Structure 1
């Protein structure tokens, strides 16, 4: 076994990268995927059983985009709060935009995976008129399994290198083993971070909700009075007049050429008479 070999021999037969080839004897004993990222690597003295059949459950990431036209933004906000509390969801990001023509409230909502469908149905029923709806599901089980297997192997190799470090005979061997340990620890941190990210996206689905209200300026539907609309009309008329005057002024070179052309034409006509 590797534990009985000299430090140099062990360094040759066990590379630091788990994705590369290692000795045939060790490859045949590669571990099965751990049931969780916190599971400890198999110790050197513990035999690695090839009959272990730990499995990883399906990893499905759900995302949704929903745009709803509402009659009142504030009322829609209150309804949203009630729906979120009912489904144990929370707002990750909120953005409000108010223009002359419309009001927009954009929310990024995180909800437990099991409540995602119920949340979508709650917003779709009774909140307002659904303008657009897009739901997607992404199966990341294969990626999760692959990262888990590599992570488990890297942890085993890390323990091997730590044991090798204890019996290293030369300074060169010590430095090389320490460098391999450092690289393995960095790779393990990246893999564990990736698994945590996937778990977060799987356990909590994401919904991008947009609440939209169009401002209709008419006597039948708008709260804007006659005085305000009369003032707007005067302003628009004045702006149109100013635009007209500025447009005329922009033709000033032609105004200078016209008198010159007339003068030349009269002189030419006078000479022709003579």
Structure 2
């Protein structure tokens, strides 16, 4: 009997020790979980926050980069050169034009009693303009006058380009509206707006083409001048030549005056008739 009680007492003690150990293990696990929880929170809090994703709206509102426009410089010039022989000088000019890839846009020749003039309008690539002017200054003749000018049209070109781009955008919007227009009135109004925009776009495109042409090809107005030598024994203008010139000019003036009087012959015929009628009227008035 004693042995049975001892056996039961041992069993109860072992159960108590197990339960105590289980409680202790559970408590340690709870404590560990309590201690580890703040660390997890700290780790999450200290983790870097990723940047927000850009939405389509943000991309749409971001400014777009515009292409930069190179500077637009228009160079023009005027030169007057005195030469000894017009034909020889013209041959030299043609050789200079070929070497600088230039061409003659307009040519005009004048031959008077005192001089010969050959006026040329030359178009030359912008990069060869200075070389062309220097060639004319050095090897053709004596430069009487030279005027070179540069005009910066970058601001105008940029302004026209921006307006042109906006007009094209509006044109596409009007075309979309035309496809969905329901009434005849709306269709006519939209078509009128489209027509006006197309005209404005044509004008802007023409202006840009004109500026590009003037920028890419510079213009030089070249005048070749030759003074004629007076025919005289001394090759100088002396008293005899001046006396003959004065007689010639006097005779020409007299002929011009005489021809001018003759051109007034209708008035010369009317004056006697008017005088005759006036005297006849006065005589009748006195008789009365």
Normalising by the smaller structure, the TM-score range is 0.5 to 0.7
Q: 1:199 aligned to 192, 212, 223, which one?
A: 212
Q: Which residue of 1 aligns with 2:134?
A: 121
Summarize deviations over 1:165-196 as a string: whole Å, max 9, x none: 00011111111100000000000000000000
Q: Write the distance in 2 (CA, Å) between the matches of 1:127 and 1:196.
A: 34
Corresponding position: 1:160 with 2:173: yes
Corresponding position: 1:184 with 2:189: no
**Residues 71 and 50 of structure 1: CA distance in aligned 2, closer, same or farther (over 3 Å):** same
TM-score for the superposition, normalised by structure 1: 0.65
Q: Write the distance in 1 (CA, Å) between the matches of 2:214 and 2:250.
A: 58
**Residues 48 and 191 of structure 1: CA distance in aligned 2, closer, same or farther (over 3 Å):** farther
- Cα root mean square deviation, aligned: 2.9
Q: Write the distance in 1 (CA, Å) between the matches of 2:87 and 2:243.
A: 32
TM-score for the superposition, normalised by structure 2: 0.62
Q: Write the distance in 1 (CA, Å) between the matches of 2:253 and 2:167.
A: 76
Which runs of no fewer than 5 residues in structure 1 stay unpaired? 1-46, 223-229, 250-274
What is the number of equivalent residue pairs in this alignment?
Answer: 194
**Residues 240 and 197 of structure 1: CA distance in aligned 2, closer, same or farther (over 3 Å):** closer
More helix by share: 2
Corresponding position: 1:97 with 2:98: no
Q: 1:215 aligned to 228, 238, 248, which one?
A: 228
Q: Write the distance in 2 (CA, Å) between the matches of 1:164 and 1:68.
A: 62
SS at match of 1:88: coil
Deviation at 1:216, TM superposition (A): 1.8
Corresponding position: 1:67 with 2:60: no
**Residues 113 and 105 of structure 1: CA distance in aligned 2, closer, same or farther (over 3 Å):** same
SS at match of 2:66: coil
Q: Write the distance in 2 (CA, Å) between the matches of 1:187 and 1:242.
A: 62
Deviation at 1:53, TM superposition (A): 2.6
**Residues 194 and 93 of structure 1: CA distance in aligned 2, closer, same or farther (over 3 Å):** same
Deviation at 1:235, TM superposition (A): 7.2
Deviation at 1:124, TM superposition (A): 0.2
**Residues 239 and 58 of structure 1: CA distance in aligned 2, closer, same or farther (over 3 Å):** closer
Deviation at 1:238, TM superposition (A): 7.0
Summarize deviations over 1:192-226 as a string: whole Å, max 9, x none: 0000000000000000000000012144669xxxx
Q: Which residue of 2 aligns with 1:169?
A: 182
**Residues 159 and 65 of structure 1: CA distance in aligned 2, closer, same or farther (over 3 Å):** same
Q: Write the distance in 2 (CA, Å) between the matches of 1:145 and 1:245.
A: 64
Which runs of no fewer than 5 residues in structure 2 stay unpaired? 1-59, 259-288
**Residues 141 and 91 of structure 1: CA distance in aligned 2, closer, same or farther (over 3 Å):** same
Q: Write the distance in 2 (CA, Å) between the matches of 1:55 and 1:195.
A: 16
Q: Write the distance in 1 (CA, Å) between the matches of 2:224 and 2:189.
A: 59
